[in-house]
Amino acid sequence: MDKVAFLGLGVMGAPMAGHLAKRDFDLTVYNRSAAKSEKWASIFNGRAAATIGEAVKDADIVFTCLGDDPDVSAVVDEAAQSLSTGVILVDHTTASPALARRLHDQLGAHGVGFIDAPVSGGEAGAQNGKLSIMCGGDAVHVELARPVMEAYGARIVHIGPAGHGQLAKAVNQICIAGVLQGLAEGVHFAARSGLDIERVLEAISGGAAQSWQMENRAKTMAADEFDFGFAVDWMRKDLRIALGEARENGARLPLTALVDQFYADVQAMDGGRWDTSSLIRRLSDVD
């Protein structure tokens, strides 16, 4: 697993590939925007390919970190033309479980392993190499890929067969959506009550209300600052996947559906690129 290709150098992919470069893997990167590839290569003294085929040629393991199902389908279909038997392709995109299952079967028929491995931890987790990675696919492939993923993953868990990594990521986003709405309402209530936000957070962050979101987003919520991490547009994509799966499996997600509509309100306020803690802006603007 020494020869590595990484396709997709966005907010998450660029630092993830950077950690691989620092570990001295024989790494080639590719991005549809050549300017991003060139910038990455100049920062990490790395090798950027002009085409997907060039990037994955002779690779032992290929990583993709893209936007949505159509992006993954297009890139993987093109990469597959240059992949040899025994290669493992790891998709870090948050995409649909159905796509993961299809790609697992499609690539597997040609002797190529596929792992759906969405990540959690946001831009900061990618930059610090502390991501949580949820893997779906064959156990043997996950174990072969694990030493490489450890370059940027602090927690790597094999959830189950193909698609289960994406289903676990849906659980992650369902939980985050509910926590963020509760936190937004709590901070909003505190402000309306004339409370000292700093003291309130000091008091409650050591108790049962404590969460990662409270520790990292409550103060910026109160300060009306929303340029930190995961964007509303991407959260709505993830919740679309979760709600679609719920319709298929019969799960009842009333709070998730409601928060999804709240995020639609934020988008209507031109907040699609604000981070997900911007739910509180909707409460302030409802007055």
Residues noted as catalytic: 169
Token representation of residue 124:
């900061």
Please say whether the beta carbons of 221 and 201 come within 8 A.
no
Closest by CA to 166, choosing from 247, 230, 92, 62, is 92
Burial environment of residue 97 by CB neighbours within 10 A (0 to 12, 13 to 18, 19 or more): buried
Closest by CA to 119, choosing from 98, 97, 134, 104, is 134
Cα–Cα distance measured from residue 212 to residue 204, given in angstroms and rounded to the nearest whole number: 13
Please say whether the beta carbons of 130 and 122 come within 8 A.
no
Q: Residue 205 to residues 125, 201, 277: CA-CA distances in angstroms?
A: 21, 6, 17
Enter the DSSP assignment of 88.
Answer: E
Cα–Cα distance measured from residue 256 to residue 138, given in angstroms and rounded to the nearest whole number: 30
